[in-house]
Amino acid sequence: MVQHVATVAFEGIEARAVDVQVQVAPGLPAFNVVGLPDKAVSEARERVRAALIASGLALPARRITVNMAPADLPKEGSHYDLPIALGLMAAIGANARSEGLICPYACGPEAAWASPEMEIIAAGSLIQLANHFKGSQVLMRPKPKVRETPDTLLDLKDIKGQESAKRALEIAAAGGHNLLMVGPPGAGKSMLAARLPSILPPLSPAELLEVSMVASVAGEIEEGALTNRRPFRAPHHSASMPALVGGGLRAKPGEISLAHHGVLFLDEFPEFQPAVLDSLRQPLESGDVTIVRANYRVTYPARFMMVGAMNPCRCGRASDPGFACRRGANDRCAADYQGRLSGPLIDRIDLHIEVPAVSAADLILPAPAEGSREVAARVARARDAQAARYAALGLAGIRTNAQAHGPALEEVAKLDNAGLALIRDAADAMRLSARGYHRVLRVARTLADLDVAEKIGRVHLAEALSYRALADEVRRAA
């Protein structure tokens, strides 16, 4: 008789059903695993044998065949050990009951989030499972676990001066916009980026599940506990393309997917390899990344806020008064350094700001009265307004202004005659591309939301255009 145990194979964050079929038949003693297993699955024979013997369940001296259907789907990883062991236990009479979801004890809190109605068994050993099936031990359903967020979050109060940069940070957080900060070393660019999570709203239930699925596939969920804090990823500038966008032997998610619904901070922006940076262009537009290899195709979500920080030139002093670069004219030195960034990538960044050096007069001032709590309240109010607006339009997949495209953007970002005249003149003077034009409208809509304004005013449009002025300089350098 063939015993069937249902499990899954992962293709990105999608799960495909796999039927583990175990047969113990007369014949010479053997233990075969078929169904396109990889090396780790093939080695499950010895791991399962050792686990059953340690549990006091000796394997019969017969021919054991484990088939994993469908046979054309590659089976990878060690998570097939448990269904194979359960199928063998059923075949030798240790259990023969239909249960719900069975998982290791360490995965119980994570599995409990799947469904409140589903029966879930999280066992620490095969002995516990066997006793549970016999009724001599009852395993309680695990409870969903939430990781406590530490109260040591960085606060905007820590930063003295840089009021214009704080304003840009608030706009980026409110609308989910990409941000590039350019300034000399020590100006506080990394400090500002590190405090961005402190003003972002917590993840919604739907966002929490999406983020947790990616983290689970990457093996980054600790003790099965989820967290509603938005991801903040800051890879080193030596990161390779597979590390950033995903890939490798099993097409694991990269940093952009692990930053889904969160922040991807790229410090020393021009120091990344040009090909690595340009690989971000498509995910920044579509919100996902598709990894294609010879034998598989995997898609991961990648809807993230990109925050970049860079010096104006290699030495960082091109903007210092009276400084003369030994490489040549300051403008030429800055253009060579900023030219490492491609124009299409720069065009995808909504907010470009200069972060000047902080003077000693700013450092001796008392800490500012407004901190992350006050800014986060305004950001949350603006995001709630955006979510309500797009829900009323029947666009459930859009949560922030940065995600609005086409007709939806034209509907929510209508301009009056004065605004149309301003953006027409600015588009000609700044040579805005169609993408740049729409990104200006998105930022203007966010500014209006922060001011609790129903319509975009001329002042909102003017401020949004001011954040594209520096982009024009960087794009000319590129």
Give the pLDDT band of residue 474 (cuts 50, 70, 90).
low
Give the pLDDT band of residue 427 (cuts 50, 70, 90).
confident
Helices (H), 269-371: 274-278, 281-286, 330-338, 343-347, 360-363
Burial-class residue 91 by CB neighbours within 10 Å (0-12, 13-18, 19+).
Answer: buried
Residue 120 falls within a domain, yes or no? yes
Give the pLDDT band of residue 95 (cuts 50, 70, 90).
low
Residue 267 falls within a domain, yes or no? yes
- CA pair distance 391, 406, nearest whole angstrom: 16
How far CA 297 is from CA of 10, 29, 73, 246, 250, in Å, comes to 12, 39, 13, 12, 11
Render 80-138 in DSSP notation, one character per residue: THHHHHHHHHHHTTS-----SEEEEGGGHHHHTTS-SSS-EEEESSHHHHHHHHHTSS-
Render 162-215 in DSSP notation, one character per residue: -HHHHHHHHHHHHHT--EEEE--TTSSHHHHHHTGGGGSPPPPHHHHHHHHHHH
Q: Are residues 95 and 219 in the same domain?
A: no
Q: What is the pLDDT of residues 361-388, one digit of tens each?
A: 778 878 787 889 999 999 999 999 999 9
Look at the block and give the residue holding tokens 């034209």.
410
Q: Are residues 261 and 379 in the same domain?
A: yes
Report residue 321 CA to chain centroid gap.
40
Residue 328 falls within a domain, yes or no? yes
Please answer whether residues 358 and 188 qualify as being in contact, where contact means their C-beta atoms are separated by less than 8 angstroms: yes
Q: For a pLDDT cut of 90, what percent of the chain falls above it?
A: 49
Q: Which CATH number goes with the domain that contains 266?
A: 3.40.50.300
Give the pLDDT band of residue 248 (cuts 50, 70, 90).
confident
The total number of structural domains in the chain stands at 2
Strand partners, 7: 18
Domain with 107 in it = 2-145
Q: Are residues 206 and 90 in the same domain?
A: no
- CA pair distance 329, 271, nearest whole angstrom: 21
How far CA 163 is from CA of 2, 120, 351, in Å, comes to 70, 52, 15
Residue 428 falls within a domain, yes or no? yes
Give yes or no for residue 14 having a pLDDT over 90.
Answer: no
Residue 150 falls within a domain, yes or no? no
Assigned token pair, 426: 């600015």
Q: Are residues 126 and 162 in the same domain?
A: no
Q: Are residues 319 and 411 in the same domain?
A: yes
Tell me what the pLDDT averaged over the chain comes to.
88
Altogether, the residues listed in the chain come to a count of 478
Q: Are residues 135 and 162 in the same domain?
A: no
Residue whose C-alpha is closest to residue 345's, from 271, 410, 296, 285: 285
Q: Are residues 228 and 328 in the same domain?
A: yes
Lowest mean pLDDT among 52-61, 150-159, 281-290: 150-159
Rg (CA), the chain: 28
Q: Are residues 214 and 185 in the same domain?
A: yes
Give yes or no for residue 87 having a pLDDT over 80.
Answer: yes
- CA pair distance 64, 59, nearest whole angstrom: 9
Report residue 458 CA to chain centroid gap.
35
Residue 420 falls within a domain, yes or no? yes
Q: Are residues 308 and 175 in the same domain?
A: yes
Residue where a domain terminates, one of 125, 145, 165: 145
Residue where a domain terminates, one of 122, 145, 168: 145
How far CA 226 is from CA of 141, 198, 211, in Å, comes to 17, 18, 9
Residue whose C-alpha is closest to residue 439's, from 348, 361, 363: 348
- Its pTM stands at 0.87
Burial-class residue 56 by CB neighbours within 10 Å (0-12, 13-18, 19+).
Answer: exposed
Q: Are residues 473 and 344 in the same domain?
A: yes
How far CA 42 is from CA of 80, 84, 354, 450, in Å, comes to 10, 11, 57, 57
Residue 405 falls within a domain, yes or no? yes
Q: Are residues 306 and 164 in the same domain?
A: yes
Q: What is the pLDDT of residues 320-362, one digit of tens each?
A: 666 667 666 667 777 788 888 998 999 999 999 999 988 777 7
Q: Are residues 84 and 212 in the same domain?
A: no
Q: What is the pLDDT of residues 306-316, one digit of tens each?
A: 999 999 888 77
Residue where a domain terminates, one of 95, 110, 145: 145
Compute, in degrees rounded to 10, the torsion defined by CA atoms 259, 308, 461, 430.
-130
Q: Which CATH number goes with the domain that contains 46?
A: 3.30.230.10
Residue whose C-alpha is closest to residue 300's, from 338, 269, 263, 261: 261
Phi, psi of 435 (to 5 degrees): -65, -45
